[in-house]
Every structure is written in structure tokens, then in C-alpha cells.
Amino acid sequence: MNKLSLLGLLSLVIRRDLVLAMRRRADVLTTLIFFVIVVSLFPLGVGPEMDMLRKMAPGVVWVAALLASMLSLGRMFSADYLDGTLEQMMLVPQSLSALVLAKILAHWMVSGLPLVIMAPVLGLQFDMPAQALWVLIAALLLGTPILSMIGAVGAALTLGLRGGGALVSLLVLPLCIPVLVFGAGAVEAIVSGTSVGSHLSLLGALLVMALVFTPWVTALALRISME
């Protein structure tokens, strides 16, 4: 009997999605440029008062990352849905949850990871201390995959709906509040001199929980959308 191993499936789907993303670079760049512009608008709008900027930096970067990740959610399944490849993916003789996990990971690599890399540069605009920048990177590394995973559930539920793009943000944004609170909280903690451990461990716990449940829920939602 033909069957692909689980790891084989993961690497095949990730490679496929990365190649597709590279052939449509504009989509990837839109998310990143949106993130950069939104964060850069704040110093211009609020004025160059260093104390205030330093204080609001973590919140601004996190909210911008959250909005930027919403921007790319629509793409996660819709292109595959429209050209029929999603249908074929549901007929793959392997676990659909594993396939969905691979798609989420690939989506994070092209939409979440660039934000993590860009964030410290933007943090400098706000005069964030070096220590805080490191914590920001760590928190974003733990947090952005959660955003992709929760977003995947929303994207799967709104697949094929008209105006799904706006709806998915309404569904997903409230669920991302804990990530925002602990992510921004970690950076504020290091600035105010308290321990960051608790914030980062809570983010880690959220990540593990999302890793366990969201691929499965997304797979169920996709099956409903295909009916």
C-alpha cells in the first residue's frame, strides 16, 4: 500500500508552500512592509519624546505584529481552496492534522519569522535597551507561531465565505489577547526590572497547547468547509 511517512508529509508540504511563497514574493513582502510602516508611524504621530516612546514600544510592536499576521491569514488556505488542491490534500492517505500543521509551519516561516527578524530594528526606533530587544525577540519567537495557529482555525472556518477576510479578524483577534498581554508584558517586565520568566513560560505553555489542539481543530473545520 502507498503511504507517505509522517515526516515525509511534513517536509513535502512545507517545501511546497515555501516554493509557492517564493514565486509570489509580493504577498510575503506586503505583510512585512505593513508591519514596518505601522510601527514607524507611531513615533511620527506621538512625537519624539523618548520616555513615552520607550514605554509604549513593546505594546506597539506587538499590536502591529498581530495586525500584520491577520493580513496574511486569508492566504493560508484560500488559494488552495480555489484551485482544488485543498480537495486533493484531504484525500491524502495520511493524517490531515499533520498536513495542516505543516501548512501552519510554512505560513509562520513566511509571515511570522520575518516579523521576528525585523522587530529588533524597529525596537531601536523606540530607543529600547539591548536587553529588552532580546526579550522582545524571544517573546515574538514564542508568540507569532501561536498567532499563526489560532489564525489557521479562523481561516479554515471562514473558507469560501464572502468577506471572509474581515470576519476572520473579528474571530481571531479576541482569541489572541492572551498572547498580546504576555508578549508585551515580558518586555515591560525586563524594562521595569522584574522577572521575565513567568511571562515567557506562560507564552510557552500557550504555544504547546496551541500546537496540540489547533491542527486538529483546523482539520475538522476544513472538513466542514469542504462539504
Partner 1 sequence: MLEISNLACSRGDHLLFSDLNFSLSAGDLLQVQGANGSGKTSLLRTLCGFMMPATGEIRWCGQNIRELGDAFYAEMVYLGHLNAIKDELNALENLRISAGLAGCKVDDKQVIAALRRMGLRGRETLPVKVLSQGQRRRVALTRLLLSNAPLWILDEPLTALDVGAVGLMQELIGEHLLNNGMVIYTTHQPLEVAGVATRWLALS
Q: What's the farthest any 2 CA atoms get from each other in the chain?
A: 67
Residues in 75-134 that interact with partner 1 by CB under 8 A: 82-85, 87-95
55 binds partner 1, rule: CB under 8 A:
no
| Residue 177 to residues 3, 59, 182, Cα–Cα distance (Å) | 40, 12, 9
CB nearer to partner 1: pick between 19 and 177: 19
Relative orientation angle of helices 96-111 and 130-157, to the nearest 10 degrees: 140
25 binds partner 1, rule: CB under 8 A:
no
**178 near 141, Cβ under 8 Å?**
no
| Set of cell numbers at residue 39 | 510601527
Distance of closest approach, residue 206 Cβ to partner 1, in angstroms: 31
Nearest partner of 73 among 184, 177, 200, 218, judged by Cα: 218
Please list, residue by residue across 169-200, b when 16 or more beta carbons sit within 10 angstroms of its beta carbon and e when fewer do: bebbbeebeebbebbbbbbbbbbeeeebeebb
226 binds partner 1, rule: CB under 8 A:
yes
6 binds partner 1, rule: CB under 8 A:
no
CB nearer to partner 1: pick between 23 and 162: 23
Q: How many residues bind partner 1 (CB under 8 A)?
A: 28
**146 near 211, Cβ under 8 Å?**
no
Q: From the list 18, 20, 67, 141, which residue makes contact with partner 1 (rule: CB under 8 A)?
A: 20
CB nearer to partner 1: pick between 91 and 130: 91
26 binds partner 1, rule: CB under 8 A:
no
Distance of closest approach, residue 180 Cβ to partner 1, in angstroms: 34
4 binds partner 1, rule: CB under 8 A:
yes
List of E strands, the chain = none
Distance of closest approach, residue 15 Cβ to partner 1, in angstroms: 9
Give the residues lining the site for partner 1 (CB under 8 A): 1-4, 8-9, 12-13, 16, 19-20, 23-24, 82-85, 87-95, 226-227
